[in-house]
Structure 1
Amino acid sequence: MSRLDDAWAYVDDRLDLERDRGFFGKAFPAEDSFLLGEVALFCFVVLALTGVFLGMFFEPSTSKVTYEGSVAQFQGQDMPEAFVSVLNITYDVPYGMFIRRLHHWAAHLFVASIGLHMLRVFFTGAYRNPREPNWVVGTGLAVLAMGAAYTGYALPFDEFASTATGIGYNLSNSIPVVGGLVGKVVFGGEFPSSATIPRLYFLHVLVIPVLITGLIVVHMAILLRQKHTERARDGNVETERGVVDADDDDTIVGLPAFPNQAAVSAVVFFLTLATLSLLAGFLPVHNVAAYGPNNPAGTPELIMPDWFLMWVYGFLKILPQWMAFTVPGTGVHVSTEFVGGIVLPTAVIGAVALWPFVDRHEEPTHFTADPLDRPWQTAVGVAAVVFVMVASIAGMNNLLADALGTSTGVVNPVLLVGIVVAPVVGGLLTYRVLRDRAGSARGSEVVADE
Structure 2
Amino acid sequence: MFQQQGTENIIETTEETLESVRFSLNHWLYDYLVSVGTSDTLAKYLNMIALLVSLVVLVFIIDFIIRKFLRGLFSQFAARSKTNFDDLLITNKVPRNIAHIIPLLITLKFIPLVFVDFPDFENIVETSLAVFAIILTLWVVRSLLHTIKDYFKTLPNFKDKPIASYIQVFMIFAWIIGIFSAFAIVTGIPFFKFITALGAGSAVVILVFKDTILGFVASIQVSINDMVRIGDWITFEKYGADGDVIEISLATVKVQNFDKTITTIPTYALISDSFKNWRGMTSSDGRRIKRALNIKQSGVRYLDDDAVEKLKGIQLISSYIESRQADIKSHNESHNIDKTLLLNGRNLTNLGVFRKYIDAYLKQHSAINKDMMIMARQLAPTTQGIPLEIYAFSSDKRWENYEYIMSDIFDHLIAALPYFDLEIFELPSDSSFKSNN
Question: TM-score w.r.t. structure 2 length?
Answer: 0.28
Largest Rg, 1 or 2:
2
Higher strand proportion = 2
Higher helix proportion = 1
Q: Which structure ranks higher in relative contact order (CA pairs < 8 Å, sequence separation ≥ 6)? A: 1
Question: TM-score w.r.t. structure 1 length?
Answer: 0.27
